[in-house]
Structure 1
Amino acid sequence: ASVDPVGLVDLRVVVVGGEAWSSELLGRWAVERGVGGGVREFFNGYGPTETTIMSNISGALVAGDVVSIGAPIRGMSAAVLDDRLRPVLGGAKGELYLWGPGVARGYHNRTGLTAGRFVANPLVEDGTRMYRTGDVVRRLPDSHDIEYVGRSDFQVKVRGFRIELGEIDAVVTSYPGVEFAVTVARS
């Protein structure tokens, strides 16, 4: 969003990722086929750090498309599950779970956090664990593509950095005389 695409006529492929973005931004960057003398392919990549940077990528998007995070890249798998780890019906909202060779084993010296985020995979019987992203998503109709909807927890992003609001509360309440704290994020 901080770069103006005007004048970048030789730019043919754009891959973005790291933040949720809008259809307006897609409209600024995606060039319709044959308009302006060329084709600019625009892709949306998705992947938390726990999946070695990227787990999903969209197909080429054009202005007016639903902004999706696409489908899993080769070697990765994704499922949209309810709070009981059951697949949701097509189009319904659920939490995104990822597994494959790029998924981390857990968090160093943080067994409690690891246990909450890296869970047994009920969809396969090979002992695979999957990563619970905390992202609320839904599958697009007649597609394997996934649309990002929001968060299921109290994690926020500030300038690309993930921040757990509960961790801020814990630090603040560690000070003498502070009994209770609540951190609120505003845009």
Structure 2
Amino acid sequence: ERGVAAVVHLLASSMAGACAVPLDPGYPDARLALMTGDPRLVAVVAAPEHAHRVPGNVPTLPADDLDRPSSPELRPGPDAPGPGATSAGPDGDGDRGHRLATLMYTSGSTGAPKGVEITHRGIVRLVRDERIAFRPDDVVLHCAPLAFDASLLEIWGALARGAVLEIAPPGPLSLSELAEVVRERGITALWLTAGLFHQLAEYEPDCLERVRLLLTGGDVVSPHHVRAVLTRWPGIAVVNGYGPTENTTFTTCHVLADPAGAAGASLPIGRAVAGTGVHLLDAYGNPVPPGVPGELWTSGDGLARGYAGRPDLTAERFTTPDRGPLQGVRMYRTGDLATLRDDGALDFLGRRDLQVKVNGYRIELAEIEAAVLAHPDVRQVCVVVEPDAFGGKRLSAHVVAGADAARLTRELRLALRSRLPAFMVPARWTVVDSLPLTANGKTDRGRLTAAPALQKD
């Protein structure tokens, strides 16, 4: 769980030249088994109550015994430095900056999570941008789950900048509990997912009185809530951050310091962070002019090495053109559409595929649909994202099945909770006679809410 011991072990792993793989104890056993299946795995650090969930062939280190000497049976990490070497310096110093710092799993469209290999250089570049940097006199809140890439900014951003890192209590927090932590611990800088920011701005804005830097993103940020916060607390800077895990948390950001800056119907995602390149390309790989939609590709020091054990997928998403204006530049294809404004900032337009972000978590809808289709009574399924009652988003599953609707939805909930993280289990289930189709025969996701429902909950 989130706590002092977890931060200490992350530091120890980095200093040893090893790569840390956060394992969320809230994940079901099936998913943890997938994440611990990497043949390079040397050991698992686990709290006593979770030790029984570690595979039997993997050594276990007790999380609460910080003074335990290193075990002789442990091999050096996959990127351990040679004799006399130190951990990666600020400029990488040769290849050391490209050593793996952490492996973070994201949702995968094939039904299995993808392990993103994040480097030391990527994290160093993240904490260097002055627009999102913490200060030595800041009190930074660490509230994100360790398996969520926002934790990289919270932990390393605070430690690298000499700030105080305040660690929220373990487990999920209610809105009032979060507000209490922010208020009572004197938090001056924090990261919130867009959905959580909207709720805090709506129901607990007083807790932000001492905050000077509020970073948000992971989804579309509401201008209304930004205006409300900036009007109530003029000293706050709200940063709208955008970026996939494959480019180490943030790719671009946009700083808002007064309500007038949030007067439009949408907020820009801004300009590239330090050490990062952003490129808007057409279907042929050519840059598009300002005002024309293009797919967002990114390059620079934040790029991950690729996907662990997936050279095919790595080659597909991390590419280096051999011709054209970007010849020789290694890039990651985000799958997001954006336009370049006249002032040089980027506007986010949406996804090209079925990858979405809900409450800051990037989710492949196809992975959820594959899990639902594993049920023998399900004939078809389509998972969509819809607004929730708090101005955020939730997952909604529409199922075609030849079974009692009430029983089926109960069984599906239980089945998915045993296979997927809680944030990937749909909050609403609807059993329908059929799925609506577009003119070309594809599922019409936009019409699903109008489909005749047999059972809703």
**Secondary structure in 2 aligned to 1:78?**
strand
Report the equivalent of 1:30. 230
- After TM superposition, the structure 1 = structure 2 runs for residues 159-178 of structure 1, keeping only pairs within 5 Å, are 159-172=359-372
1: CA distance between counterparts of 2:301 and 2:208? 37
In structure 1, the residue matched to 2:277 is: 77
Corresponding residue of 1:2: 199
Q: Deviations over 1:36-92 (max 9, x none)?
A: 6x4322221222111111121113353315511110111100011111111112011
* 2:401 matched residue in structure 1: none
CA pair 11-172 structure 1, distance change in 2 beyond 3 A: closer
Q: After superposition, what is the alpha-carbon deviation per residue over 1:112-149, rounded to whole angstroms, capped at 9, x for unaligned?
A: 32232112244333x332111111111112x2211111
Distance in 1 (alpha carbons) for counterparts of 2:207 and 2:374: 53
Contact in 1 for aligned 2:369/2:383 (Cα 8 Å) = no
**Counterpart residue identity of residue 334, structure 2:** T
Larger Rg: 2
Q: Tell me what 1:15 maps to.
A: 215
Q: Does 1:124 align with 2:326?
A: yes
Q: Which amino acid aligns with 2:213?
A: V
Structure 1: where are the runs of 5+ without partners?
none
In structure 2, distance between residues paired with 1:172 and 1:42: 39
CA contact (8 A) 2:372 2:381 kept: no
Question: What is the rounded CA distance, in whole Å, between the counterparts of 2:363 and 2:250 in structure 1?
Answer: 19
Q: Could you say which residue in structure 2 is the equivalent of 1:55? A: 251
Alignment partner, residue 184 of structure 1:
383
1:114 paired to 2:311: no
Q: 1:43 to 1:177 in 2, by over 3 A?
A: closer
More helix by share: 2
Q: CA deviation at 1:172?
A: 4.9
Residue in 1 that maps onto 2:351 = 151
TM-score (norm 1): 0.82
**What is aligned with 1:140?**
341
Displacement of 1:173: 5.1
Looking at structure 2, the residues matched to 115 and 59 of structure 1 have their Cα atoms a distance apart, in angstroms, of 34
Structure 2 length as normaliser, TM-score?
0.36
Aligned residue for 1:6, secondary structure, equals helix
Instruction: Tell me, yes or no, if the aligned pair for 2:218 and 2:361 is still in contact at 8 Å.
Output: no
Distance 2:373 2:207 in 1: 52
- Aligned residue for 2:134? none
Look up the equivalent residue of 1:47 and give its one-letter code: G
- Calculate percent identity across the aligned residue pairs: 36
Distance 1:153 1:79 in 2: 18
**Whole-Å Cα distance in 2 between the matches of residues 13 and 177 of structure 1?**
50
Specify the SS of the correspondent of 1:25: helix
